[in-house]
Amino acid sequence: MTSTRRRMLGVLGAAPLAAGTVLGAEGTARGDARADRDTRSPGPIPEGLGPGGELDRFVADLAARDAFSGTLLITRRGRTVLSRAYGMADRRRDVPITPDTLFALASVTKLFTAVAVAQLVQRGRLSYASTVGTYLDGLPAEIADHVTLHHLLTHTSGLGNHQQAPGFEETAATWTTADQVMDGTLDFIRRMPLSFPPGAADRYSNSGYHLLGTIVARVSGRSWFDYARERIFRPAGMADTDFVTAPRWRRDPGIAHPYVKQPSGERVDDVAGRVFIGTPAGDAFSTTSDMDRFARALLRDKLLAPPFTRTLLGGKLPLGPPTSGPPPKDASPTGPSPTGPADPPPGGGDPRPQATFQCYGPIGVVLADRWTFGHGGGAPGESTGIEMFPDGEWVIVVLGNYDQDTVRPVVGMARRLVAVAG
């Protein structure tokens, strides 16, 4: 049995091993002609990260055991270190996953929303300190007059997840246009009470990021979708990235279908009942190559002026150590709690995080005296993760079409190997 709510966000799955692709350190990520080439040497590549190394063998084993289905890309300064693709994008039509396959990004989409807000702050159109009511009407006073953009970006607003509101699933299933998705979701958020006073605690909030995207649209005079295409995807050279409608998702062989594991162990294609289109909170569609371009454009100040890139990546809210038990719904698989695995990944686990922060979008973690900034997402049939190391310009992207958290071991091992590489 499937639900509309659970389809809103996510990425990953596992299917029989269908394809494996590798590029060595001298290759470049596909489509680099659309981005600035880096003539610097990528430097020595740790043995564990290259073809045939520890990570490569680990992912191949997961895929062989039907525990991973998706794509992996690791780059350094734009040069490909390792590229892999495993599993099936569409089992019924016998379409394998390739490095060019599009995946639903789940909450990795929130990185685009955070960048859009920062761009408008840079232009003087928004202020992080302003309340939501400055830009949107029709919200209750407890939200309009007290919740700021800072609260929304750091998940400290007191808002939760509109997908869990009574009647949301049934109503969302009737939406057939992007406007209906954006406006209909906002209507549900308007009726949601705060679970705590703004700033008093933190709670992962899809509703907060939907409000941010709605504010971007109102202030810019563009639809959220057009703004993201024109101001983020295009400048970053992300030619394949977009917000895909559910009808296209069902028919396009280049888009991975979400496969949801049943109690019996069977994996079922769950694409049929997905919401019409993603939102600022989740489910843009992209490839590993495009997400690598996004990361490099962000780190190289191509999307924001340097002070605003630093502001977006700066730590705003200290986060606690990993906890035991499952992560919250749609938590990122890329960092410590609430965004990382409680159990260490294979191969010895991460170096112990020295500090962890919620930034304006990503989670910032200090590992082995090095910053890494990441985000992830997941839902039934979807699991994603991205990590960016400014020191050395390492980028890790893992996208999949099995259930949430299935990319976590892969991201965890890759992050550990990069962190200790120096």
Q: What is the dihedral of CA 292, 295, 301, 307, to 10 degrees?
A: 180
Phi-psi region of 409 (alpha: psi -120 to 50; beta: other; left: phi over 0): alpha
Q: Is 107 a catalytic residue?
A: yes
What CA–CA distance (Å, rounded) separates 95 from 92? 8
Residues 280-302 as b or e (16 or more Cβ within 10 Å = b): bbbbbbbbbbbbbbbbbbbbbeb
Which residue, among 114, 95, 203, has the nearest Cα to 153 in the 3D structure? Answer: 114
Per annotation, catalytic residue among 83, 107, 157, 289: 107
Contact 384, 378 (CB under 8 A): yes
| Rounded Cα distance, 136 and 141, in Å | 11
Q: Which residue has the tokens 């389809």?
A: 7
Q: Is the preceding peptide bond at 338 cis, omega within 30 degrees of 0? A: yes
In 3D space, the residue among 333, 395, 379, 416 whose CA is nearest the CA of residue 161 turns out to be 379
DSSP-based helix, strand, coil % in the chain, nearest 5: 30, 20, 50
Contact 80, 42 (CB under 8 A): no
- Would you say 192 and 205 are in contact if contact means Cβ atoms under 8 Å apart? no
Beta-carbon contacts of 266 under 8 Å, excluding residues fewer than 6 positions away, are: none
Which sequence positions are flagged as catalytic?
Answer: 107
